[in-house]
């Protein structure tokens, strides 16, 4: 497999979960109506439960992939994704839909965890950040078009066919992985399935100071983004009156993030992941303060809201991949376990707080604006802690970092 095909395949594997979230947005009202849900905020659970399940499930596949290899674990996740997408298409009540969505998210969490480990198997330093940014560009095309895809399905069929489409997309990626992806795990780096070994690896990955601030800070930045995703249909589509233009507006914000990721992939090796992401955090805090100001003013309009939120989401494109790459650098010999525990923490924080942000929606943009500001400031404090009070430092011109020793597997 050539490098371009590899990048596209990794991006599509990750994008399946994004498709399972964003393609639902135009259908939330219809699903709620068909399944008898009266509380308009409760329909957000279709998205929120999936995000939380993805976070919880992220703790599992990394250790399995460190033992059995990346390829079989990735294929197992795809099988779960396909089967439970079909199950969601056949539900008859809202509670069953939420249960299946949670199970689907947990079982397919490897789709978002394993690409990072696969990339870490062969890349390091700022080169890994560039690879992740390139993948994010393609990955972000899915949220850009997913609501429009969901809306297109609704124009000719019921919301159930959106889940059927998810199953079809999962099957295409599964066949691609089966026939084209080779195993990337070095046999020398295979980890035994021993509870103490797994626990030691995960504690090491979760507690290393150089990584911890970036993992938790990344989760907080993600929570603000997820908060926007959870309440976007109500806030943009209903409160600001976007109506049928909502999928296009939502896609435009995703395009901003994709552009940022593309630009990041071009500059990160020159300036370093730290310098780029630290600057983005500071800019995000400034934009968030402007969001709060606008939201506190009476009569905020869509034209006032969207440019600022789009620029702030653009900053996420400069933060996400770089924070993930910095956090994963010390763990070459246990990239699967480290990727799992870090994705678990990011997703659990992001989805949990993101759900709270979404449910705090009160008919205005103020709760979301305050959430962006609070999460940005908290992320800055955590990064300063990890960096011992310094910003914008680069480890060395090559971007290589120290490695955490492989834990003793006999303890």
For residue 371, what pLDDT is reported?
94
Q: What torsion, rounded to 10 degrees, do the Cα atoms 139, 140, 144, 148 define?
A: 20
Domain range holding 318? 3-386
pLDDT attached to residue 86: 96
CA distance to 130, 260, 291, 391, per residue, from 266 (Å): 7, 10, 29, 21
Count how many domains the chain has. Answer: 1
Is 392 within the bounds of a domain?
A: no
Q: Is residue 409 part of a domain?
A: no
In a domain, 394, yes or no: no
Task: Report how far residue 309's alpha carbon sits from residue 240's, in angstroms, rounded to the nearest whole number.
Answer: 13
Q: Is residue 125 part of a domain?
A: yes
The vertex-346 CA angle with 220 and 235, nearest 5°, equals: 50
Tell me the whole-structure pTM to 2 decimals.
0.69
pLDDT at position 282, please?
A: 96
pLDDT at 129: 64
Inside any domain, residue 150: yes
Residue 192 lies in a domain: yes
* Within a domain: 406: no
Asked whether residue 407 is domain-assigned, the answer is: no
The pLDDT profile of the chain, 411 residues, written as one tens digit per residue, is 787 888 889 888 988 988 898 888 888 889 999 998 888 778 888 988 998 888 788 778 877 888 888 899 999 999 999 999 999 999 999 999 999 999 999 999 889 878 877 887 776 555 666 677 677 666 666 766 788 888 899 999 999 999 999 999 999 999 999 999 888 887 877 776 667 766 776 677 777 788 889 999 999 999 999 899 888 888 998 888 888 788 888 888 878 887 887 888 788 878 888 999 999 999 999 999 999 999 998 888 999 999 999 999 999 888 988 888 888 777 766 666 677 788 788 888 888 898 899 889 988 899 999 999 999 999 999 999 988 888 887 665 444 444 334 344 333
CATH assignment at residue 154: 1.20.1250.20
């Amino acid at each position: 497999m050539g490098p371009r095909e590899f990048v596209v395949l990794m991006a599509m594997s990750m994008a399946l979960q994004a498709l399972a979230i964003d393609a639902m947005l135009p259908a939330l009202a219809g699903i709620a109506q068909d399944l008898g849900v009266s509380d308009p905020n409760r329909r957000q659970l279709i998205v929120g439960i999936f995000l939380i399940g993805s976070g919880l499930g992220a703790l599992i596949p990394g250790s399995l992939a460190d033992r059995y290899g990346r390829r079989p674990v990735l294929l197992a996740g795809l099988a779960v994704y396909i089967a439970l997408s079909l199950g969601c298409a056949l539900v008859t009540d809202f509670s069953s839909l939420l249960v299946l969505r949670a199970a689907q998210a947990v079982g397919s969490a490897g789709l978002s965890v394993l690409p990072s480990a696969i990339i870490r198997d062969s890349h390091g330093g700022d080169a890994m950040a560039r690879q992740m940014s390139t993948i994010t560009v393609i990955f972000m095309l899915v949220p850009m078009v997913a609501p429009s895809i969901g809306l297109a399905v609704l124009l000719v069929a019921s919301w159930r066919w959106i889940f059927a489409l998810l199953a079809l997309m999962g099957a295409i990626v599964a066949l691609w992985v089966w026939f084209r992806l080779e195993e990337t795990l070095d046999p020398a780096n295979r980890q035994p399935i021993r509870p103490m070994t797994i626990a030691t690896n995960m504690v090491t990955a979760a507690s290393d100071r150089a990584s911890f601030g970036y993992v938790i800070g990344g989760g907080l930045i993600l929570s603000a983004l997820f908060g926007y995703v959870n309440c976007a249909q109500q806030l943009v589509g209903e409160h600001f009156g976007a109506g049928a233009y909502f999928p296009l507006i939502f896609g435009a914000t995703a395009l901003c993030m994709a552009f940022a990721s593309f630009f990041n992939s071009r500059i990160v090796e020159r300036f370093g992941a730290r310098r780029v992401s630290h600057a983005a955090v500071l800019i995000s805090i400034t934009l968030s303060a402007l969001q709060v100001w606008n939201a506190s003013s009476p009569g905020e309009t869509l034209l006032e809201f969207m440019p600022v939120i789009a620029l702030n989401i653009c900053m996420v494109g400069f933060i996400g991949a770089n924070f993930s790459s910095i956090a994963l650098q010390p763990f070459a010999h246990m990239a699967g376990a480290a990727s799992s525990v870090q994705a678990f923490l990011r997703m659990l924080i992001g989805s949990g707080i993101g759900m709270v942000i979404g449910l705090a929606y009160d008919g205005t943009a103020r709760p979301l604006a305050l959430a962006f500001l609070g999460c940005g400031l908290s992320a800055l404090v955590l990064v300063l802690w990890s960096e011992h009070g310094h910003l914008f430092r680069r480890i060395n011109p090559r971007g290589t970092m120290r490695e955490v020793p492989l834990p003793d597997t006999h303890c």
